[in-house]
């Protein structure tokens, strides 16, 4: 049975005779190094046999697919796990090697303390070390004794005494204690991390709640402020609309009045110029005709002709009438100019008043009263009251005689 999740490896008992679990590549690498080190005592035995035996064991470890453990941060693939399990099955499942925690290896290590050569031959027979790889000294007594020891171990007739079993159980207990300590440490670390995360989450939740409350309060305040502003704007708009409608007729009236006077200003200007020119031409012509010097004639009776005073009277009358007419035209022109300016001023004042009503800040009742008094003051016709026909000669003489 094998599985992979986050570089963890699980090997079932049915494949290798023992349940193995490795949480990471580093853990598997360390386990392989420890298993290989349990055979380091073989290198201390003199002779080619021990050297060939250790080389054989080392070759078995070299056959492990080490390429699967190169990158510690890279996840194991399914094919990598299959290669690793295949090596365990071929090495430990087929009894090419024995686990360091097994009773067989515990028995061999005890022999090696006093008789290392016997222990080496026993191990060679136990793992079926090929004779073609160099069984130097096979005829020696330790070789025969080692073969017998291996047969007994393989059949369970050795290594089952209480001390050996206690040693194997101690090794197993130490292994489980180590794993338990590791799991406990991992659990405590995870618990602390979880508590820290919960504390951070609680702090973040509190901050988020405070931020939400502040944001909600700010939004409520802005909403109320905006609602009040909109309500005030609506009230101002309604008031402005009502007052605008009440002032709409005066505004339109003064606009029409301004346009009316504006159109008549050029008319009276042209009329005044024409009347002035015609009057001047007629006056010059009449004066020239009246005072024209006639040539002397031999007939003395004709040279004593009387002066035409009647023509002089007509000239004075026409001149007075023309001057009066020109004066009236000019005064009407000036009146239209003044009335056009007054209408334009009232139009601007009315529009300004409406604009000020839209934003009533800075406009109190006194200002409104002043503006309305000026806006609705009586309008004049622009004419002066003494614009009448000039008095006649009789009126002038009567007025002079009364003095």
The per-residue pLDDT string of the chain (403 residues; one tens digit each, 9 = 90 and over) reads: 444 445 678 787 766 667 788 888 888 899 999 999 989 999 898 888 888 889 999 999 999 998 888 877 788 888 888 899 899 888 888 888 888 888 888 888 888 888 888 888 888 888 888 765 555 555 556 777 777 777 787 776 665 554 555 555 565 666 667 677 778 777 888 888 888 888 888 888 888 888 888 888 889 888 888 888 888 888 877 776 666 666 677 778 878 888 888 888 898 899 889 988 888 888 887 777 777 655 555 554 554 556 677 777 777 887 888 888 888 888 888 888 888 888 888 878 777 777 776 665 556 677 667 766 766 666 665 555 554 445 544 455 455 545 5
Q: What is the pTM of this model?
A: 0.42
Whether residue 106 contacts residue 173, with contact meaning beta carbons closer than 8 Å, is answered with no
Here the tokens at position 151 are 């047969």
DSSP state string for 329-341: HHHHHHHHHHHHH
Tell me the C-alpha distance between 107 and 99, whole Å: 12
Quick: pLDDT tens for 304-343: 556 677 777 777 887 888 888 888 888 888 888 888 888 8
pLDDT of residue 403: 52
Encoded tokens for 94: 């087929």
| pLDDT for the residue numbered 186 | 78
pLDDT score for 4 = 42
Task: Give the helix, strand, coil percentages of the chain, each rounded to 5.
Answer: 75, 0, 25
Beta strand 8-11 with 20-22: parallel, antiparallel or unpaired?
Answer: antiparallel
Contacting residues for 318 by C-beta, under 8 A, at least 6 apart: 282, 283, 286
pLDDT at residue 87, rounded to an integer: 92
Per-residue pLDDT at 394: 44
pLDDT value, residue 360:
59
**CA 279, CA 389: separation in Å to the nearest integer?**
17
Q: How far apart are CA 108 and CA 119, in angstroms?
A: 5
Instruction: Report yes or no: 1 and 11 within 8 Å, Cβ to Cβ.
Output: yes
Quote the pLDDT of residue 190: 84
Q: What is the pLDDT of residue 389?
A: 45
Query: Residue 348: which H helix or E strand, with range?
Result: helix 309-358
Domain residues of the chain, as ranges?
Answer: 4-160, 248-293+308-402
Identify the CA nearest to 396 among candidates 320, 333, 301: 320
Six token digits for residue 303: 């040279």
Note the pLDDT of residue 162: 47
Element holding 63 (H helix, E strand): none
């Amino acid at each position: 049975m094998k599985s992979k999740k986050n570089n963890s490896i699980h090997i079932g008992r049915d494949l290798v005779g023992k349940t193995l679990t490795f949480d990471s590549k580093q853990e598997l690498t360390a386990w392989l190094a420890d298993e290989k080190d349990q055979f380091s005592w073989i290198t201390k035995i003199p002779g080619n046999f021990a050297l060939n035996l250790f080389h054989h064991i080392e070759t078995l470890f070299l056959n492990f697919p080490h390429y699967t453990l190169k990158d510690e941060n890279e996840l194991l693939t399914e094919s990598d796990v299959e290669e690793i399990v295949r090596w365990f099955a071929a090495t430990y499942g087929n009894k090419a090697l024995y686990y360091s925690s097994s009773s067989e290896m515990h028995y061999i290590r005890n022999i090696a303390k006093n008789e290392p050569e016997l222990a080496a031959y026993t191990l060679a027979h136990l793992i079926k070390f090929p004779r073609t790889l160099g069984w130097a000294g096979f005829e020696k007594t330790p070789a025969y004794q080692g073969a017998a020891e291996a047969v007994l171990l393989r059949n369970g007739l050795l290594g089952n005494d209480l001390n050996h079993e206690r040693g194997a159980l101690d090794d197993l207990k130490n292994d489980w204690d180590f794993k338990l300590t590791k799991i406990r440490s991992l659990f405590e670390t995870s618990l602390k991390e979880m508590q820290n995360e919960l504390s951070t989450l609680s702090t973040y939740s509190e901050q988020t709640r405070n931020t939400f409350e502040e944001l909600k309060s700010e939004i409520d305040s802005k909403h109320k402020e905006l609602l009040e502003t909109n309500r005030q704007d609506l009230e101002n708009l309604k008031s402005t609309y009502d007052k605008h409608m009440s002032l709409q007729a005066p505004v339109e009236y003064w606009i029409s009045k301004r346009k009316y006077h504006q159109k008549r200003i050029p008319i009276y200007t042209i009329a005044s110029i024409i009347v002035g020119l015609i009057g001047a031409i007629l006056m010059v012509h009449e004066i020239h005709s009246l005072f024209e010097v006639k040539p002397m004639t031999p007939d003395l009776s004709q040279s004593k002709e009387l002066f035409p005073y009647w023509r002089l009277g007509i000239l004075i009358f026409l001149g007075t009438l023309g001057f009066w007419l020109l004066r009236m035209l000019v005064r009407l022109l000036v009146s239209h100019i003044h009335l056009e300016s007054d209408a334009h001023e009232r139009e601007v004042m009315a529009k300004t008043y409406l604009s000020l009503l839209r934003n009533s800040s800075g406009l109190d009742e006194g200002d409104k009263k002043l503006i309305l008094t000026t806006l609705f003051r009586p309008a004049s016709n622009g004419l002066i009251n003494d614009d009448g026909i000039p008095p006649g000669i009789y009126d002038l003489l009567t007025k002079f005689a009364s003095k």
